[in-house]
Amino acid sequence: MEKLAVIIPAAGSGTRMGSFKPKPFIILGDKPIIWHTINAFLKLDSLIQIIIPTSEEWLNEVEIICESLPKNKVQFDVIVGGSERQFSINNGLKFLHDDVDLVAVHDAVRPFIDWHLIKKVCKRALTYGGAIVGVPAKDTIKKVGENQTIIDTPNRTSLWQAQTPQIFRRELLTKAYNSAIEKDFFGTDDASLVERIGGDIKIVEGDRKNLKITYPIDLKIAEMILKENEEI
């Protein structure tokens, strides 16, 4: 079986949420958001390592959260992240265990990821080199320029919203990150870095429950989803 590592970036400051604590540490139900996220990945047999980049002040808190998770054989590395998500992931890549074949990147603030879906994306990534979760865009997307003037309306039928996990063969992701950092290229997700070096990446249709907790309204929705999941 392939060996999987997941990098769970948790070094953001949560500007859009405007909360006192960074988002991964906000309590959802009775546990921090990141606890739910890590717990979903622990259900995968192929998982051998979890790397969590976070800010220096939160290193200790993440260690405590990791200890409170169900007992497992996975190696945890809690490390210092960077000023941008891309730098946090790049720091994480340096800690990969030698045996790892596939690397997943999954936002700490997407706690409702289903492990069956992660498995499906892993399979695709093994075959093609890279695969990510996404959903077809539900709103019409506008390209907007200066003075809030609309420049273009791309055809919605070909537009998808990228989510995480984004999973790649180890060599491909490492090469993409090294190249992006060297050339000062910035992308808002991992796939865009791999696309840049010509990688073949598939998108797997995911679940709208896999929301990224970003604004206060998302936290309210998350509480509702958690309640519903507990009732099932």
Binding positions for ligand CTP, rule: CB under 6 A: 9-16, 22-24, 53, 81-85, 88, 107-109, 212, 214
Q: Go through 21-32 and write b for each residue having 16 or more CB atoms within 10 A of its CB, e for each that does not.
A: ebbbbbebeeeb
CB 55 → Mg ion: shortest distance, Å? 13
Q: Near Mg ion by CB under 5 A, which window of 4-12, 39-47, 54-62, 169-177?
A: 4-12
Among Mg ion, ligand CTP, none, what binds residue 92 when CB lies within 5 to 8 Å by partner kind? none
Q: Near Mg ion by CB under 5 A, which window of 8-16, 53-61, 113-121, 162-170?
A: 8-16
Q: Near Mg ion by CB under 5 A, which window of 9-17, 30-38, 95-103, 179-187?
A: 9-17
Which residues neighbour 124 within 8 Å (Cβ) at sequence distance 6 or greater? 131, 167, 202, 204
DSSP lists the bridge partners of residue 31 as 28
91: left (phi over 0), alpha (psi -120 to 50) or beta: alpha
Among Mg ion, ligand CTP, none, what binds residue 10 when CB lies within 5 to 8 Å by partner kind? ligand CTP
Q: Under rule CB under 5 A, which residues in 45-74 are in contact with Mg ion?
A: none
**Closest CB to ligand CTP among 178 and 214?**
214
Residue nearest to ligand CTP (CB): 12
**Closest CB to ligand CTP among 104 and 129?**
104
Residue nearest to Mg ion (CB): 12
**Closest CB to ligand CTP among 91 and 129?**
91
Among ligand CTP, Mg ion, none, what binds residue 11 when CB lies within 5 to 8 Å by partner kind? ligand CTP
Q: How many CA atoms lie within 13 A of 188 on its CB side?
A: 3
CB 11 → Mg ion: shortest distance, Å? 10
129: left (phi over 0), alpha (psi -120 to 50) or beta: left
Angle, CA of 46, 70 and 50, to the nearest 5°? 45
One character per residue 16-35, x = contact with Mg ion (rule: CB under 5 A): --------------------
Binding site for Mg ion (CB under 5 A): 12
